[in-house]
Structures are given as structure tokens and as C-alpha cells.
Amino acid sequence: MAAATSGVVRALHRIRRTAARGAALRTAAVREARATLAAVRAAPRRTKRNEAALCLAALAAGLLPLLYVHPHWPVPAVAEACWAALLLPARRRWPAGAVLGIAPLLNGGNMWTIAVMPLVVLLATRRINPPGRAWAAVLATSVLAMALATLVFLFTSRGPFESFGGTALDSVLMLFLPALSGTLLGQRRPLVRLLRERNAYLEQTRVLTAATARMEERARIAGEMHDMLGHRLSLISVHAGALELAAARQAPPLAGQAELLRTTAGTAMEELREILDVLRREEIALAPSPPTPDEAEREPEAVRGTRSDLTTLVSESRRAGVPAELVWTGPDSDVLNPRVRQALHRVVREGLTNVHKHAAGAPTRVEVAHAGHRVEVSVTNGEPPGTGRPMAGNRSGLAGLEERITLIGGSFTAGPVGRAGFRMAAGLPCHDGTGAAVTPVPAVPPALTASAVPAAPDPASVPVASAPYSPSYPPPYPPSDPPDLSAQALTWPRLLGGGCAAILVILPTVAGIAVVLLAQVIR
């Protein structure tokens, strides 16, 4: 009684486990069907059209010849044609399963599906990655085909040569050769994609490099125009104003011409500001890179910034009506780097120009002092006399000057001082005669010495859009590229060789299909 009860219990457990497995299989099948429907709906319309046309063509190739050449078993022949047509769209979602689905067709009686089998294998093995999985599926398919050939030999009237020899020959022509061609094309696909991405990357790099160079040149032209023309036009405007006042007292008939000269100089200044705004309009999007060490040596103003040069600037301002004085402490600046001397000259000239425009006649003090490894320069003006209306400004000169000084590792400050004065000061690092920078003193803010001066880029990491590709100079990879593809593997001979090898491998299959179909038609 106990043994019977335990047997019944074990039987109930087996039934329950079988029911649970069946429910899990049904759930998995429903889930897979829903995922397949969602993938079909999400596919592009062009893909749906192409797949539908391919299925219809495969179905027609397997069914239409049956109307003229009647098979011995029509129902299995129709089923084979439909199965071959279904394997074509299935190779997108289940490529390994599509390869395994070829096994029944290798032993089938519908010879007209022979044109569909290599196409399914070729398209499916292209999608299987890595290639080892594709060859595992091909090996499993061949073993399954041989097992089916054994069943056909045992339960039908086919002979051993027709069953096993034909299956082996079909496996080579319809399975192994198309799989070899598909794996070659599958390995070629990422190389082609990588080549296209690299070409797009290099083209974008070329465009950005050209745009950066263009903006750097525009910014340099704008700075030169502001520093050179702005200073001269300010002096002309100041002298024209003084001439107008003198003409009004001593030669009234010439007062109109003097006023025209002053207004023309003012109009020229306004037009110059408009041109500078146009040139600097895109500076925010592309910041200029620091000039090369020998750039200043090529400029005509590289010899400026010495004590005699600054003395000349102060004397010109004094002749224009500005009581300016120069206070120099330390040795002359002729031993400094040309870029530092040029920056020193620009600071003094910009300061004196601003005094002429905004505080005409104000007492001005220009100070230059060598303090350790730095050169401190400042231009300070007091309250201007009288109630003259200062000229309008947009601080573009101060912004350009701060940028120039920051690029060489210096510091710059500008702002009001006292009751109605203004002070502009800069700290410039000293350089030796070869242009090598000396370590600045700790008083310099870290933001101006570490982050403001970009580090020299590694030549191997700089993208050169115009340089031809060679294994000794590989261009940089985009971040999304696969790490296992080296630059040496991405060559046109390898790409073309992969495609040509795939075509050569598939030629015996095409020839075998033509011979078999021709034999069927003749018979």
C-alpha cells in the first residue's frame, strides 16, 4: 500500500514538473512572439519591403517549377519551399537557427530550393559574431544533416551513395563554402564601418582646424588693428580737438575745417569698432590658441617694449596734452623675450590711449619695475581737468590685452582708482634669451599659470587631416571604435581582398547550383 502511494506521489510530481515546464515554454514562446512582432513593427519600411520581396522570390523559386515538373511527394516539396522562404527573414533575428534550419533542406526532395539554401547561409553567417559561433552552427548543421540522411537511407529506397554522398556534396557546396564567404564578409563589415567613421572624423577635424585657424587669424588682425589704428586715431582726435579750440580763438574761418577733422576722426573710431566687432564675433565659439614661440619674432613690433620705446610713447602723449611721466626701476627690458617686450609695449600704449579717449589732460603715471622673475607695469591716471565729455568705449581693448597677457602666463587687472582715476596693471613673467620660461613667483594666482596656459600637445595625438595614412602615423580613433581593430588592419587592400575572396569562394557554389538546376530541367 505504501509503495503504491509513493508511486502515485512520484507520478503526480512528474506531471506537475511537466506542466510547469510546458507553462514556461508557452510563456517563453509568447514573449518571443511579442518581441518578434515589435521588431517587425519597428523595422524601417524599406527593410520590410525588401524582406517581403525576398521571401516572395524564394517562394516562387521553390513552387513555380513544381507546376511543370511534378514531384513524387508534392506536399513535402511545397512544405520545403515554404520553409526555405521563411528562413530568409528568420536569419535577421535568429541567424544561428536559420543555419540549423538548412539541415532538412539538404535531404529534401525539392531540388528547386537549392538556390535559396546558400543565400540563407551566407546572409546568416555574416551576422554571427564571433566567427567561431558561425562555424559551430555550420558543424552542428552538417551533423544534423548526416543524421537525417541516415533516417532517409533506412526508411526510403535511396541508396547509400545518393543518401550520404549527395548530403556530403550538398554540405560542402551549400553549407561550408557559403559559410566561409559569409564569415569573410562579416569580418569585412566592421572594417568598412570603421573606415567610414574615420573618414568622417578626419573630415570634421579638417573643418574644425580650418575654422580655428581662420578665427585665430581674425582675432590677430582685430588685435593689431585696435592696437595700431586705435592709438593713432585717438591721437588725431585729441590733436584735432585742440586745433579746433585754437582755431576758434585765433582763426575763426578755420574752425569749421578743424571741427570736420575732429568729427571725421571720431567717425573713423566708430567704424573701426564696428569692424573689430565683426572680426571678433565668433571668438567666443572658438578660442584662439597661444601663438608659437617664434611668432613674435616674425612681427614687426618684436623690438618694441624697451625703455627707449616706452619713453617715446610717453613723450608723444605729453605732446598731445597729457601730463604723463615714466618711472622705470631696474635694468632695461631688451634682454627679455620678444613676446614679453611686445606685451609690455601693448600695456603702456593701451593705457595711454585710454587716457587720451576717456580722461584727456589727466595726470598719468607709467611705472615699470623688475621684481625678481617678473616685470610689473602699470598705467595710472588721476581725475581729468574740466568737464570734457569722454569718448565712448566697449572695453574690447582691455579684453584683448588681458587675453594676450594670459596666454604668456601673466596677470592683468584694470579698474577705477581714487575719485575719478583709473589704473591698469599687468604682471609679466621674465623669459631668458632662448624663450624658456622661468618659474614664476608664488604671488601669481594658480589659475593664471596652470589653467590659462595650455600644455603643449603630444605630436602623436594631434589630428592631421591632410596627412596621408601610413602604418607609422595612424590618425586617432574615435571613442566608439572597437579596441581590437588596429590601425594597421584598416587598409584598402584588406577591404578589397576580403570582398574578392568572398566572391571567389562562392563561385563553386554558383556553378554547382547551375549544374543541378540544368540537370533537373533536362530530366
Give pLDDT, residue 106. Answer: 85
Residue 296's pLDDT is 38
So what's the pLDDT on residue 385?
Answer: 80
Q: State the pairing for strand pair 364-371/421-429.
A: unpaired
Check if the beta carbon of residue 183 is closer than 8 Å to that of residue 125: yes
**Site of grid cell 529534401:** 108
Peptide bond into 385 cis (omega under 30): no
Rounded to the nearest angstrom, the gap between the alpha carbon of residue 462 and the centroid of all alpha carbons in its chain is: 13
Q: Which three cell numbers stand for residue 428?
A: 609679466
Say if pTM beats, i.e. exceeds, 0.95.
no
pLDDT of residue 455: 38
DSSP reduced 3-state for 305: coil
**Pairing relationship of beta strands 411-417 and 421-429 according to DSSP bridges:** antiparallel
Cell numbers linked to 54 = 525576398
Helix/strand/coil (H, E, C) string of 9-52? HHHHHHHHHHHHHHHHHHHHHHHHHHHHHHHHHHCCHHHHHHHH
Instruction: State how far the Cα of 79 lies from the Cα of 186, in Å rounded to an integer.
Output: 31
Q: Which among 275, 198, 273 has a CA at the least distance from the CA of 234?
A: 273
- Closest alpha carbon to 80 in 53, 47, 131, 115: 115
In single-letter form, the type of residue at position 18 comes to T
Q: Closest by alpha carbon to 112, among 65, 68, 150?
A: 65
Per-residue pLDDT tens digits of the chain, which is 523 residues long: 666 677 667 777 777 777 777 788 788 778 877 887 787 778 888 888 888 898 898 888 888 888 887 777 888 889 988 999 999 888 888 899 999 998 888 887 787 888 888 889 988 998 888 888 989 999 999 999 898 888 888 877 777 777 788 888 888 888 888 888 888 888 777 777 777 788 888 888 888 888 888 888 877 777 777 777 777 777 787 778 788 788 888 888 877 777 777 777 777 777 777 677 767 665 443 344 444 434 433 434 445 788 888 888 888 888 878 899 999 988 888 778 888 888 888 899 888 888 888 888 889 999 999 877 889 999 999 888 865 555 555 566 787 788 778 888 899 999 898 887 899 999 998 864 344 444 333 333 333 333 333 333 333 333 333 333 333 333 333 334 444 444 444 454 555 555 676 677 777 777 877 777 777 667 6
Strands 374-381 and 364-371: antiparallel
Q: Which cell numbers hold the place of 262?
A: 575732429
The distance of Cα 449 from the centroid of its chain, to the nearest Å, equals 29
Dihedral sign for Cα atoms in the order 19, 24, 28, 30: positive
